[in-house]
Amino acid sequence: MRQARSKRVGSSFGDRLKQERLSRQLTQAELGGELYSASYISLLENAHREPTADIIKQLASQLQMAPSAIAEWVQASSPAESEYLRLSLCARQCWDTRDYLGAASNAKAAADLACANQNPVIWWNMTFLSANSLLRNGNHAQAIEVLIALLKHPLTTASDPLSLRAHQVMAATMLAQGSLSEAIQHATAAVEIGSGDSAEEFSAYLMALQTLVGALTEAGRLDEAWTHTLILADSVTDSTPDQMAGEIHWVIGNVAFIRQDIRVGLEHHAKASRLLSPAADLARWAQFNKATAWVRLMAGVVEPATLQAIERSELAHSVVGATASETLEVSLLRARWHYLNGELPRALELLANIEANKEQLAPHIAGDSALLLGSALKAADSSAQALEAFTNARDRFVLAGAADRAAVAQENITELQGSPR
What does the alpha-carbon distance between residue 276 and residue 99 come to, in Å, rounded to a whole number? 23
Helix (H) or strand (E) holding 60: helix 53-63
What does the alpha-carbon distance between residue 404 and residue 222 come to, in Å, rounded to a whole number? 10
CB-CB neighbours of 334 under 10 Å: 20
Longest dimension (CA), the chain: 93
SS3 for 168-186 is: HHHHHHHHHCCCHHHHHHH
What does the alpha-carbon distance between residue 209 and residue 197 come to, in Å, rounded to a whole number? 17
Name which of 397, 370, 374 is nearest 178 in CA terms. Answer: 397
Q: Write b or e for each residue in 381-400: b if 16 or more Cβ atoms lie within 10 A of its Cβ, otherwise e.
A: eebeebbbbbbbbbbbbbbb
Domains of the chain: 1-77 (1.10.260.40), 323-421 (1.25.40.10)
CB-based contacts of 207: which residues, under 8 Å, 6+ apart?
A: 168, 172
- Report whether 211 contacts 184 (CB < 8 A): no
What does the alpha-carbon distance between residue 339 and residue 336 come to, in Å, rounded to a whole number? 5
Q: What are φ and ψ of residue 184, in 5° steps?
A: -65, -40
pLDDT of residue 287: 87
pLDDT of residue 384: 94
Name which of 39, 74, 69, 45 is nearest 57 in CA terms. Answer: 69
Question: Could you say which DSSP state residue 419 is in?
Answer: S
Tens-digit pLDDT string for the chain (421 aa) = 333 333 333 346 777 788 788 777 788 888 888 888 888 888 888 777 778 888 888 888 888 888 777 877 766 567 777 787 788 888 888 888 889 999 999 999 999 998 888 888 889 989 999 999 999 888 999 999 999 999 999 989 998 989 999 999 999 999 989 899 999 999 999 999 987 777 778 888 888 988 999 899 888 899 999 999 988 888 888 888 888 889 889 989 988 988 889 999 999 999 999 999 888 888 888 989 998 999 899 888 899 999 999 999 999 988 888 888 899 999 999 999 999 999 999 999 999 999 999 999 999 999 999 999 999 999 999 999 999 999 999 999 999 988 889 999 999 999 999 865 4
What does the alpha-carbon distance between residue 374 and residue 348 come to, in Å, rounded to a whole number? 10
What does the alpha-carbon distance between residue 292 and residue 180 come to, in Å, rounded to a whole number? 21
Question: Could you say which DSSP state residue 166 is in?
Answer: H
What does the alpha-carbon distance between residue 292 and residue 273 come to, in Å, rounded to a whole number? 9
- Report whether 345 contacts 313 (CB < 8 A): no
Name which of 197, 214, 198, 281 is nearest 243 in CA terms. Answer: 281
Q: Where are the alpha helices (DSSP H) in 259-382?
A: 262-275, 282-298, 304-320, 324-340, 344-356, 363-379
What does the alpha-carbon distance between residue 403 and residue 8 come to, in Å, rounded to a whole number? 61
Name which of 320, 245, 241 is nearest 287 in CA terms. Answer: 320
Cα 331 → chain centroid? 21
What does the alpha-carbon distance between residue 177 and residue 274 come to, in Å, rounded to a whole number? 30
The burial class, CB within 10 Å (0-12 / 13-18 / 19+), for 240 is middle
pLDDT of residue 1: 31
CB-CB neighbours of 70 under 10 Å: 21
∠383-384-385 over CA atoms, to 5°? 95
What does the alpha-carbon distance between residue 125 and residue 110 come to, in Å, rounded to a whole number? 10
What does the alpha-carbon distance between residue 335 and residue 328 come to, in Å, rounded to a whole number? 10
